[in-house]
Chain A
Amino acid sequence: MLELCGIELRGPVLNGSGTYDAIAARRTFGDDLLERFPFDCFVSKTITLAPRQGNPPPRLWETPAGLINSIGLPNKGLAGFLDEDLPKLAELPVPLCVSVMGFDHEELKQLVSAVGERDEVSLIELNFSCPNVETGLIMGADPAETAAAVETLRPLTRKPLIVKLTPNATEPAAVGAAAEAAGADALSLINTLKGMAFHPRTGEPWLGGTTGGVSGPAVRAIALEQVSSVSRRVRIPVIGMGGIASGRDAADFLSAGATAIAVGTESFRDPAAGARIASELELVSRKEREFSSGGVR
């Protein structure tokens, strides 16, 4: 068992937002999914106030040990999410964290207030990886922007607020510290790193959205450094992610200072990866305990 911001979790493995659609997975795998649910807390895909179609295809490009995605946050919007998706997500056997993104403070306030009212929701994650349409700055890349948004939202709900940090910032640790000072209950990182691919024949950008976000084992070493530097700057819990594909990887993120970890791209390769990584992590942890107590080599 693990306590994260006052919420009891059966273990430390979450999913990265936007990397698992539990509703579509249940259509594919049936109730087998619920019986062997691979995460200890389910994080929703990011919802925005208005529905979004997302970026034009192509949306994917495979890299060495990774993936660039240019999905563009397609979602049903707040009302569609609350009406259609939330009742289904409430049937999952684990606590629910809802990820939200707003393009200005007013949108964010509406999202956090509405989601915060719902008993089905245990935690709220703030995805600040978009430009603030009022200032033009990427909210999560700037400590002052992040602090201002968290200060605005903090009084609107008693539910824990997790700030998702972007790695595309000059100093993610400074952004994390600003979020903590403004009242965030936890931090999660990393989001994807900005990336690009070119059509092998035409030389044009491959992705319909021109640029995308890199994920997978290709970004793991960068993620570990950022989790480590952020964890050293803050006292609130850190949820570490970025290319975790095994229990060994997960243990490294815990060593870097994370309280919990999230699995993202590896679930694309193996829908049950979260559960496998959790059991591998237990094995790694047990071996480390035995090693440190001098019992077994």
Chain B
Amino acid sequence: MTLAPFGRRLAPVVENRKVGAYSLLIAADPDGPADPRPGQFYMLAAEQGWGAGEGERPYLPRAFSFARAREGQLWFLLEDIGPGTHRLAQLEPGENLWLTGPLGIGFEPPTGRPILVGGGIGTAPLLCLQDQIGPEAPVLLGFRSAPHAEAASLFTGDPQVTTDDGSIGRQALVTELLREELDRRTADGGRPTIFSCGPPQMLEAVRAMCAEHDIPAQLALESGMACGFGACFGCVVPTKKGYIRLCVDGPVLPADQLDTALAPH
């Protein structure tokens, strides 16, 4: 995996624009490595106004998989759902981010024919994965509604989209597309590898489906983190080998290491 420079560093905000329901935050990171592995993440905090939000929060930095790394800039996709993401969504060019990373273990390069399966904000690490492996792999994306589904426009080519409310694309869960794709692949004899990131219920459905078809899958999980570099032991998830720290032993895990991808809360 790509090592992180030691300590946190300041990264100037270059752009922060709405992509439908999400914010796309772009920061310059000239001192960071140019080649973070898709699935790796960064801890982000605003240099100013961190702790001035609702309930005197946020206090800790927040973990985000990077969505794209190009020309010394890092892209992060985020949704304003709490005091940390709210402040990050407000950032403007001229302000700075505190940034640590890249952290954790990202996706392993595909061995079979890759299929990318994303849900909601979890589409972020699949974007840089597509940048890396090319646009030939099918991209299946599920969203709540049309404003969220605008994130699909960041991908190259034409991702297949589902929404919960049918406001764009097929009204279905993204796992319905995956099942059809797997049936097709199995019929033509190719062995796929699944790369997936999304909400816990979606990841669990992907995990169960891949287990049923005996297909390898790499799942990028999420867990609340305080530090992102193995210090706090706060982000553990249960695996077949017991609890592991998602920040240093993940966030990408082979699906066969898990009995469930569901989070405790």
Q: Which residues in A have some Cβ–Cβ distance to B below 8 Å?
A: 18-21, 23-25, 27-30, 32-33, 36, 45, 53-54, 56-60, 62-67, 69, 71, 74, 199, 206, 208, 216, 265, 267-272, 275
Contact = CB atoms under 8 A, between A and B. Distances in A.
Contact of A54 (B60, B227, B233, B265): B233
A34 to B, nearest CB: 9
A57 B223 contact: yes
Given A28-B103, A57-B264, A208-B264, A63 B242 contact: no
B248 A24 contact: yes
Given A53-B242, A53-B243, A56-B264, A62 B4 contact: no
A58 B225 CA distance: 10
Contact of A36 (B7, B8, B231, B234): B7
Given A58-B265, A64-B55, A64-B59, A29 B227 contact: no
Interface in B116-139: none
Contacts of B233: 18, 21, 45, 54, 59, 71, 74
B5 A32 contact: yes
Nearest to A35: B6
A18 B226 CA distance: 13
A271 B9 CA distance: 10
Of B5, B229, B238, B263, most A-chain CB atoms within 10 Å: B229
Interface string B199-228: 000000000000000000000000111110
A15 B81 CA distance: 33
B88 interface: no
Across the A-B interface, the 6 shortest Cβ-Cβ residue pairs: A24-B230, A272-B7, A64-B56, A268-B227, A60-B234, A32-B6
B28 to A, nearest CB: 20
A30 to B, nearest CB: 4
Interface string B17-57: 00000000000000000000000000001000001000111
B61 interface: yes
B3 interface: yes
Nearest to A20: B231
Contacts of A74: 233, 236, 243
B231 A30 contact: no
26 contacts: A19-B231, A23-B230, A24-B248, A25-B229, A27-B230, A28-B4, A28-B229, A29-B6, A56-B264, A57-B238, A57-B264, A58-B265, A59-B235, A60-B226, A60-B234, A60-B235, A62-B58, A67-B60, A67-B226, A69-B226, A74-B243, A206-B265, A216-B59, A268-B226, A268-B227, A269-B60
B236 A59 contact: yes
Contacts of B154: none
Interface in B44-102: 45, 51, 55-61, 98, 100
A275 B6 CA distance: 11
Contacts of A33: 6
B237 interface: yes
Interface residues of B, number: 40
Contacts, number: 127
B160 to A, nearest CB: 33
Of B5, B230, B232, B236, most A-chain CB atoms within 10 Å: B232
Nearest to A29: B6
Nearest to A63: B59
A21 B231 contact: yes
B56 A65 contact: yes
Contacts of B235: 57, 59-60
B7 A66 contact: no
A56 to B, nearest CB: 7
B148 interface: no
B100 to A, nearest CB: 6
A23 B245 CA distance: 13
Contact of B234 (A53, A56, A69): A69
B244 to A, nearest CB: 10
Contacts of B6: 29-30, 32-33, 36, 271-272
Nearest to A73: B233
Nearest to A21: B230
Contacts of A275: 7
B231 A54 contact: no
A269 B99 CA distance: 10
Of A67, A265, A268, most B-chain CB atoms within 10 Å: A268
A25 B7 CA distance: 10
Of B56, B60, B233, most A-chain CB atoms within 10 Å: B233
A29 B232 contact: no
Contacts of B5: 29, 32
B223 to A, nearest CB: 7
Nearest to B105: A27
Nearest to B8: A270
Contacts of B227: 267-269, 271
